[in-house]
C-alpha cells in the first residue's frame, strides 16, 4: 500500500517550487492531500513574498501555476471540529494546527511539515526531506 501524505503550507510551499523547477517529480503529489484551508495560507505566503519581501515578481503567475499542481492533489475537509478542539487542548496546539493533526491521524496519513511543534506533537509527522530522500 502506498503511503499517503497530508502537507501543511510550511511543506507545500517549498514543494511546489521544487516541482516547478523539476527538482521533484510531480508524481509525488498523486498520494498527497491538503486541507481546504491550506490554499488560503498558501495565497498569503505568495502575497507576503511578492508584496513585502519582493521575492516574487509575478504572484498571479505563481498562484496560477501552483493551482494547476494543487488541482492534482486531494483536498480534505475537517468533519469533527469538537475532536479538533480536544486535540488542541490536550496537546497545547492552536486549533488551526490541530486540524492537520486530526486529519492526518484519523486518516492514517503522514503529516509533512516544517513546524517543529507539529513534528513533536503529531504521531506520524515528518519533514519533507525525510520523505523525498526515502523515495529516491
The full set of domain ranges for the chain reads: 5-129
Looking at residue 1, what is its pLDDT? 58
What per-residue confidence (pLDDT) applies to 65?
97
Which candidate, 81, 125, 133, places its Cα nearest to that of 105? Answer: 125
Looking at CATH, the fold of the domain delimited by 5-129 is given as Rossmann fold (3.40.50)
Residue ranges for the chain with pLDDT beneath 50:
none
Write out pLDDT tens, residues 73-101: 999 999 999 999 999 999 999 999 999 99
pLDDT at 136: 65
Instruction: Determine the straight-line distance between the first and last CA of the chain, rounded to whole angstroms.
Output: 18
- φ, ψ for residue 74 (rounded to 5)? -95, 135
Q: What pLDDT does 135 receive?
A: 75
CB-based contact 33:5 (threshold 8 Å): yes
Helices (H), the chain: 9-20, 38-47, 59-70, 81-91, 95-107, 116-121, 128-135
Amino acid at each position: 500500500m502506498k503511503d499517503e501524505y497530508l502537507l501543511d503550507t510550511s511543506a507545500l510551499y517549498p514543494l511546489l517550487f521544487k516541482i516547478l523547477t523539476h527538482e521533484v517529480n510531480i508524481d509525488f503529489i498523486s498520494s498527497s492531500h491538503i486541507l481546504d484551508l491550506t490554499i488560503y495560507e498558501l495565497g498569503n505566503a505568495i502575497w507576503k513574498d511578492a508584496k513585502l519581501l519582493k521575492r516574487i515578481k509575478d504572484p498571479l503567475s505563481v498562484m496560477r501555476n501552483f493551482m494547476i499542481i494543487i488541482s492534482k492533489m486531494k483536498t480534505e475537509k475537517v468533519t469533527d471540529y469538537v475532536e479538533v478542539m480536544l486535540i488542541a487542548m490536550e496537546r497545547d496546539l492552536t486549533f488551526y494546527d490541530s486540524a492537520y493533526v486530526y486529519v492526518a491521524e484519523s486518516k492514517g496519513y503522514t503529516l509533512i511539515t516544517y513546524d517543529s511543534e507539529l513534528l513533536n506533537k503529531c504521531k506520524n509527522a515528518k519533514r519533507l526531506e525525510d520523505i523525498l530522500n526515502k523515495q529516491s
